[in-house]
A = this chain, B = another copy of it.
Amino acid sequence: MPKLGMEPIRRAALVKATIDEIGQAGSLDVTVSRIARRAGVSAALAHHYFGGKEDLFLAAMRHILTLFGAGVRAGLREAETPRARLEAVIRASFQAEQFRGHVVSAWLNFYVAAQTVPEAQRLLRIYQRRLRSNLMHDLRPLVGARAGPVADMLAALIDGLYIRAALGPEARDPAASAQKVVDMADLLIGEVT
Protein backbone atom coordinates (compact mmCIF):
# COMPACT_ATOMS: atom_id res chain seq x y z
CA MET A 1 0.00 0.00 0.00
CA PRO A 2 2.01 2.93 -1.19
CA LYS A 3 1.64 6.07 0.79
CA LEU A 4 1.38 9.61 -0.37
CA GLY A 5 4.04 12.21 0.16
CA MET A 6 6.82 9.69 0.34
CA GLU A 7 8.97 11.44 -2.19
CA PRO A 8 10.83 13.87 0.06
CA ILE A 9 11.37 11.14 2.62
CA ARG A 10 12.77 8.75 0.07
CA ARG A 11 14.96 11.38 -1.50
CA ALA A 12 16.43 12.36 1.83
CA ALA A 13 17.03 8.75 2.78
CA LEU A 14 18.74 8.06 -0.51
CA VAL A 15 20.98 11.11 -0.27
CA LYS A 16 22.01 10.18 3.22
CA ALA A 17 22.63 6.60 2.18
CA THR A 18 24.78 7.82 -0.69
CA ILE A 19 27.00 9.89 1.55
CA ASP A 20 27.31 7.11 4.06
CA GLU A 21 28.08 4.54 1.43
CA ILE A 22 30.75 6.67 -0.19
CA GLY A 23 32.21 7.33 3.20
CA GLN A 24 32.34 3.68 4.03
CA ALA A 25 33.75 2.61 0.69
CA GLY A 26 36.22 5.46 0.66
CA SER A 27 35.61 5.94 -3.02
CA LEU A 28 32.96 6.56 -5.61
CA ASP A 29 33.04 2.87 -6.47
CA VAL A 30 29.67 2.37 -4.95
CA THR A 31 26.75 0.55 -6.50
CA VAL A 32 23.28 1.94 -6.72
CA SER A 33 21.99 -1.33 -5.33
CA ARG A 34 23.95 -0.93 -2.15
CA ILE A 35 22.88 2.64 -1.69
CA ALA A 36 19.27 1.66 -2.24
CA ARG A 37 19.51 -1.25 0.14
CA ARG A 38 21.00 0.99 2.80
CA ALA A 39 18.12 3.38 2.29
CA GLY A 40 15.67 0.52 2.56
CA VAL A 41 14.30 0.77 -0.95
CA SER A 42 14.81 -0.94 -4.28
CA ALA A 43 17.44 0.15 -6.76
CA ALA A 44 14.68 0.85 -9.24
CA LEU A 45 13.24 3.46 -6.93
CA ALA A 46 16.53 5.27 -6.71
CA HIS A 47 16.45 5.62 -10.44
CA HIS A 48 12.84 6.63 -10.36
CA TYR A 49 13.59 9.54 -8.09
CA PHE A 50 17.01 10.59 -9.27
CA GLY A 51 17.25 9.52 -12.85
CA GLY A 52 20.63 7.90 -12.50
CA LYS A 53 23.69 7.31 -10.46
CA GLU A 54 25.37 10.58 -11.30
CA ASP A 55 22.36 12.62 -10.29
CA LEU A 56 22.33 10.80 -7.01
CA PHE A 57 25.93 11.78 -6.42
CA LEU A 58 25.26 15.37 -7.31
CA ALA A 59 22.29 15.51 -4.99
CA ALA A 60 24.51 14.24 -2.22
CA MET A 61 27.07 16.89 -3.02
CA ARG A 62 24.43 19.58 -3.00
CA HIS A 63 23.25 18.37 0.34
CA ILE A 64 26.70 18.66 1.82
CA LEU A 65 27.07 22.15 0.41
CA THR A 66 23.75 23.12 1.89
CA LEU A 67 24.74 21.88 5.31
CA PHE A 68 28.01 23.70 5.00
CA GLY A 69 26.32 26.94 4.06
CA ALA A 70 23.97 26.63 7.00
CA GLY A 71 26.93 26.07 9.29
CA VAL A 72 28.63 29.20 8.08
CA ARG A 73 25.52 31.31 8.56
CA ALA A 74 25.02 29.92 12.03
CA GLY A 75 28.58 30.81 12.97
CA LEU A 76 28.29 34.32 11.61
CA ARG A 77 25.10 35.00 13.46
CA GLU A 78 26.96 35.27 16.76
CA ALA A 79 29.99 37.15 15.51
CA GLU A 80 30.17 40.91 15.47
CA THR A 81 33.64 42.27 14.75
CA PRO A 82 35.42 41.49 11.47
CA ARG A 83 38.02 39.50 13.36
CA ALA A 84 35.32 37.46 15.06
CA ARG A 85 33.50 36.93 11.82
CA LEU A 86 36.69 35.79 10.11
CA GLU A 87 37.29 33.27 12.80
CA ALA A 88 33.72 32.08 12.53
CA VAL A 89 34.09 31.52 8.81
CA ILE A 90 37.26 29.54 9.31
CA ARG A 91 35.85 27.45 12.12
CA ALA A 92 32.78 26.71 10.05
CA SER A 93 34.98 24.83 7.62
CA PHE A 94 36.00 22.60 10.45
CA GLN A 95 32.69 21.89 12.05
CA ALA A 96 32.46 18.37 13.33
CA GLU A 97 29.73 17.67 10.81
CA GLN A 98 31.78 18.79 7.85
CA PHE A 99 35.24 17.86 8.80
CA ARG A 100 35.27 14.20 9.39
CA GLY A 101 34.52 10.66 8.36
CA HIS A 102 31.95 10.22 5.65
CA VAL A 103 31.77 13.82 4.70
CA VAL A 104 35.47 14.43 4.27
CA SER A 105 35.70 11.27 2.24
CA ALA A 106 32.77 12.40 0.15
CA TRP A 107 34.43 15.75 -0.42
CA LEU A 108 37.66 14.17 -1.49
CA ASN A 109 35.79 12.12 -4.00
CA PHE A 110 33.81 15.05 -5.24
CA TYR A 111 37.07 16.78 -5.95
CA VAL A 112 37.87 13.91 -8.23
CA ALA A 113 34.45 13.96 -9.81
CA ALA A 114 34.83 17.64 -10.48
CA GLN A 115 37.53 16.84 -12.99
CA THR A 116 35.05 14.98 -15.10
CA VAL A 117 31.49 15.92 -14.33
CA PRO A 118 30.65 19.53 -15.26
CA GLU A 119 27.89 19.90 -12.73
CA ALA A 120 30.21 18.70 -10.00
CA GLN A 121 32.74 21.25 -11.09
CA ARG A 122 30.11 23.95 -11.05
CA LEU A 123 29.15 23.08 -7.50
CA LEU A 124 32.74 23.08 -6.35
CA ARG A 125 33.29 26.45 -7.91
CA ILE A 126 30.30 27.79 -6.05
CA TYR A 127 31.74 26.53 -2.80
CA GLN A 128 35.13 28.00 -3.51
CA ARG A 129 33.73 31.35 -4.59
CA ARG A 130 31.52 31.52 -1.56
CA LEU A 131 34.37 30.69 0.79
CA ARG A 132 36.64 33.25 -0.82
CA SER A 133 33.97 35.91 -0.74
CA ASN A 134 33.24 35.22 2.91
CA LEU A 135 36.89 35.46 3.82
CA MET A 136 37.45 38.61 1.82
CA HIS A 137 34.42 40.36 3.19
CA ASP A 138 35.94 40.30 6.64
CA LEU A 139 39.57 40.56 5.61
CA ARG A 140 39.12 43.83 3.78
CA PRO A 141 38.60 45.89 6.95
CA LEU A 142 41.59 44.12 8.45
CA VAL A 143 44.20 44.00 5.71
CA GLY A 144 42.81 46.19 2.98
CA ALA A 145 44.22 45.49 -0.46
CA ARG A 146 45.99 42.36 0.70
CA ALA A 147 42.59 40.70 1.25
CA GLY A 148 42.79 38.77 -2.03
CA PRO A 149 46.13 37.01 -1.58
CA VAL A 150 45.48 36.40 2.10
CA ALA A 151 42.13 34.85 1.35
CA ASP A 152 43.70 32.57 -1.22
CA MET A 153 46.33 31.52 1.23
CA LEU A 154 43.81 30.69 3.93
CA ALA A 155 41.57 28.85 1.53
CA ALA A 156 44.46 26.72 0.30
CA LEU A 157 45.43 26.01 3.87
CA ILE A 158 41.92 24.90 4.69
CA ASP A 159 41.86 22.53 1.74
CA GLY A 160 45.31 21.20 2.54
CA LEU A 161 44.27 20.31 6.05
CA TYR A 162 41.23 18.58 4.60
CA ILE A 163 43.41 16.17 2.67
CA ARG A 164 45.55 15.40 5.65
CA ALA A 165 42.47 14.68 7.67
CA ALA A 166 41.10 12.37 5.03
CA LEU A 167 44.21 10.29 4.74
CA GLY A 168 44.89 8.89 8.14
CA PRO A 169 43.59 8.63 11.64
CA GLU A 170 46.32 10.94 12.88
CA ALA A 171 45.51 14.61 13.02
CA ARG A 172 41.79 14.02 12.75
CA ASP A 173 41.33 16.83 15.13
CA PRO A 174 39.08 19.46 13.59
CA ALA A 175 39.55 22.02 16.32
CA ALA A 176 43.32 21.88 16.14
CA SER A 177 43.28 22.25 12.39
CA ALA A 178 40.94 25.20 12.67
CA GLN A 179 43.19 26.79 15.23
CA LYS A 180 46.14 26.49 12.88
CA VAL A 181 44.29 28.42 10.25
CA VAL A 182 43.16 31.05 12.71
CA ASP A 183 46.71 31.52 13.95
CA MET A 184 47.87 31.87 10.41
CA ALA A 185 45.17 34.42 9.77
CA ASP A 186 46.27 36.46 12.75
CA LEU A 187 49.84 36.27 11.61
CA LEU A 188 48.94 37.47 8.14
CA ILE A 189 46.76 40.21 9.51
CA GLY A 190 49.48 41.48 11.82
CA GLU A 191 52.05 41.47 9.06
CA VAL A 192 53.28 44.97 8.13
CA THR A 193 53.28 45.74 4.45
**Partner-B contacts on A (CB < 8 A):** 25-28, 105, 108-109, 111-116, 121, 124-125, 128, 149, 152-153, 155-164, 166-168, 180, 184, 187-188, 191
Set of chain B residues within 8 Å of A168, measured between Cβ atoms = 121, 125
Asked if A115 and B167 sit within 8 Å, CB to CB, the answer is yes
Q: Give the Cβ gap from A21 to chain B, nearest Cβ, in Å.
A: 13
What is the interface of chain A mostly: helix, strand, loop, or mixed?
Answer: helix
Q: Count identical subunits in the complex.
A: 4
Set of chain B residues within 8 Å of A155, measured between Cβ atoms = 160, 164
Q: Tell me, in angstroms, the Cα distance from A116 to B28 when the chains sit together.
A: 11
Partner of A108, one of B28, B105, B112, B152: B112
Asked if B121 and A167 sit within 8 Å, CB to CB, the answer is yes
11 A–B pairs (Cβ distance < 8 Å), ordered by A: A26-B112, A26-B115, A26-B116, A27-B112, A27-B115, A111-B167, A149-B180, A153-B184, A155-B164, A156-B164, A159-B164
Nearest 9 CB-CB pairs, A to B?
Answer: A160-B160, A26-B115, A156-B160, A159-B160, A26-B116, A159-B163, A156-B161, A27-B112, A157-B160
Q: Give the Cβ gap from A132 to chain B, nearest Cβ, in Å.
A: 11
